[in-house]
Amino acid sequence: MVEMEKGLLERLRQQGFDAAREILEAGDLKAGQLFVVGCSTSEVCGGRIGTASSPDAAKAVFEGIWQAARERGVYLAAQCCEHLNRALILEREAAERYGYEEVNVVPQPKAGGSFATAAYAAFDCPVAVEHIRAHGGMDIGDTLIGMHLRDVAVPVRIAVKRIGEAHVVCARTRAKFVGGERAVYDSGKM
């Protein structure tokens, strides 16, 4: 690997870390909560989603995000691509804690995506599940993570607008408001 490539990979790692740290803080995610990330490395590298998967870029971005998640004590869930119906890779401990049923699949760069493949390789005891209800998330390259967030997602604008060339969108979730016009809400849960 030439020096410029190492520099690019370090920038991707740092961008992933900075973005994750900011959304985890802004979203006020607590230790033990779920944080979902979808990442198109094709988009990160300047291509169109699904056309140019990059295991090296995925590993760099994943490492940054995973570092921030571990520092905050949240569980990271890596969304697979559409070829695996957007299944998720997470630690067995998280799946068991939240009661998610394991499915049998091992992501690959072209069938699951490079980011999910990096997560599977890095986690201590990775499992795949079909659905989660995450407390917050980050979408890198328009991968559509919304199906894995809790019911009321709130967009969160962060300073990091791109990781590599990929567009970044973040969300936190909040409790539903129930009741009618006389209802009173807890402002700490907004």
Q: What burial letters (b/e) apply to 117-127, b meaning 16+ CB within 10 Å?
A: bbbbeebeebb
Given a contact cutoff of 8 angstroms between Cβ atoms, the answer to whether 106 and 83 are in contact is: no
Comparing CA positions, the residue from 62, 86, 83 lying closest to residue 134 is: 86
Looking at the chain, the whole-number percentage of residues with pLDDT higher than 70 is: 98
Distances (CA, A) of 49 to 20, 73, 166: 21, 30, 9
Mean pLDDT of the chain: 93
CATH code: domain of residue 75:
3.40.50.10360
pLDDT-based confidence at 37, cuts 50/70/90? very high
Comparing CA positions, the residue from 56, 70, 42, 23 lying closest to residue 143 is: 42
pLDDT at residue 3 in the model:
40
pLDDT at residue 125 in the model:
98
**Domain interval for residue 103:** 3-178+185-189
pLDDT at residue 1 in the model:
32
Mean pLDDT of all residues in 108-137: 96
Comparing CA positions, the residue from 102, 99, 78 lying closest to residue 90 is: 78
C-alpha 168/C-alpha 39 separation (Å) is 9
Give the global pTM.
0.92
Instruction: Quote the number of domains for the chain.
Output: 1
pLDDT-based confidence at 180, cuts 50/70/90? confident
* φ and ψ of 117, to 5 deg: -65, -40
Looking at the chain, the whole-number percentage of residues with pLDDT higher than 90 is: 81
Mean pLDDT of all residues in 25-54: 93
pLDDT above 90 (res 150):
yes
Helix (H, G, I), strand (E, B) or coil at 138: strand
pLDDT digits (tens, 9 = 90+) for 69-116: 999 999 999 999 988 889 999 999 999 999 999 999 999 998 899 999
pLDDT-based confidence at 142, cuts 50/70/90? very high
pLDDT at residue 2 in the model:
35
